[in-house]
Chains A and B, each alone.
Chain A
């Protein structure tokens, strides 16, 4: 049984395998941010920070912090050689214009038609959508990286019950249990973490889960 950190790293590691050499990628906050740590060495991937640059680099040493170079969560970061700064108009032109190859986001709920809810719980948590709606409508590929359930409650559903961030947007869901493609016929499990049985994964999924004929183990 993995603890929370191990679970998140396991998911992030698998997400990183989806990124191709030369891709421009935007990572959401939380678990998705970890993906940058696991990009295979044979691939060069460019990370965008939607507050205005490409070439998002690691956290600097304390004495090298530049207050003007921070990520979209206002945490100090660095910009890599070959990077570039720009304003929010260009940053969202990059996002909305289909120039981001992959975005990796967390979610509260995902529906079998690709609808996603990840920006508010009415009356409880209303942080705002930030750039999430733009990323979901603009990125070429949307990967949701999250734990399969919320303390046992289903997050993969027939229909979302929370306010939607976007409709028909999600392409793939990667959890600690497996890799799921969102297809015109619904959720298709294409990789299975051998630590979980098919029955366990089905029970943790609040919609029909189709098992791919070419199901592979998740590594």
Chain B
């Protein structure tokens, strides 16, 4: 199975109204070139699931500026004024989710779990409308799994089977999102032949990657 595709083929896999998960933490570990190509194509009414909305000129922040989202599920929007403006003026729905809860919801979505029980958010706005469950005398909040149509990921290296390695703090959400989406497209800085990545060094197994694009060096 050939997973290598062109940028044009990649952007055609994202459709209006899709829910998209995008890897990255304030734009670090985000598939920037894929994002640029999606903005150029002009996809709309997307639901975004991402740690944060980065900056107006970086990462998914550029997609916020291009008004591509009808809903954003994220832990932090403070570095991108445009997200705050769109939220306060009612243009875009923003659901703020604690960072650890967000990654666990994605993991639950990808790992076949019915949800996650956590103390994070108890007694706060996050608890509103959610079930609390008592386990052995301790109260927990039930957070449900989330999934997406497409995951847009970044890696330092991919082999042709989609096995991924990472550098620095770029792993963040990239290791989970591919498990919880129907399609996962990885923008790799470098694509290598099968066998060139030692199986001991693989961080994300290739089964979680459906498509690979060559992003080139940062």
Instruction: List A residues at the B interface (Cβ < 8 Å).
Output: 49-53, 66-70, 72-74, 79, 85-89, 91-92, 95-96, 115, 123, 126-134, 137-138, 163-167
Q: Which of B8-16, B39-47, B62-70, B98-106 contacts A (4 or more CB under 8 A)?
A: B98-106
Q: How many angstroms between the C-alpha atoms of A127 and B88 in the bound complex?
A: 12
Q: How many angstroms between the C-alpha atoms of A88 and B97 in the bound complex?
A: 14
Among A68, A131, A165, the residue within 8 A (CB) of B99 is A131
Among A87, A126, A138, the residue within 8 A (CB) of B172 is A87
Q: Across the two chains, which residue of chain A brings its CB closest to B204?
A: A87
Chain A binding surface, main DSSP class: loop
With A87-B176, A127-B77: A49-B98 Cβ-Cβ less than 8 Å = no
Q: How many angstroms between the C-alpha atoms of A92 and B74 in the bound complex?
A: 15
Q: Which of B163-171, B193-201, B208-216 contacts A (4 or more CB under 8 A)?
A: B163-171
With A74-B28, A127-B78: A167-B122 Cβ-Cβ less than 8 Å = yes
Chain B contact patch, size range: 35 or more
Among A74, A85, A134, A167, the residue within 8 A (CB) of B101 is A134
Within the complex, the shortest CB–CB distance from A54 to chain B, in Å, comes to: 11
* Interface members, chain B 45-89 (any A CB < 8 Å): 51-52, 55, 74-79, 84, 87-88
Among A88, A132, A134, the residue within 8 A (CB) of B171 is A88
Q: Across the two chains, which residue of chain A brings its CB closest to B96?
A: A128
Q: CB distance A51 to B172 under 8 Å? A: yes
Q: CB distance B174 to A87 under 8 Å? A: yes
Provide the residues of chain A in CB contact with B169, threshold 8 Å.
49, 51-53, 68-70, 85
Q: CB distance B84 to A126 under 8 Å? A: yes
B19 CB–A CB distance under 8 Å: no
Q: How many angstroms between the C-alpha atoms of A208 and B101 in the bound complex?
A: 35
Provide the residues of chain B in CB contact with A126, threshold 8 Å.
77, 84, 87-88, 96
Q: How many angstroms between the C-alpha atoms of A67 and B25 in the bound complex?
A: 12
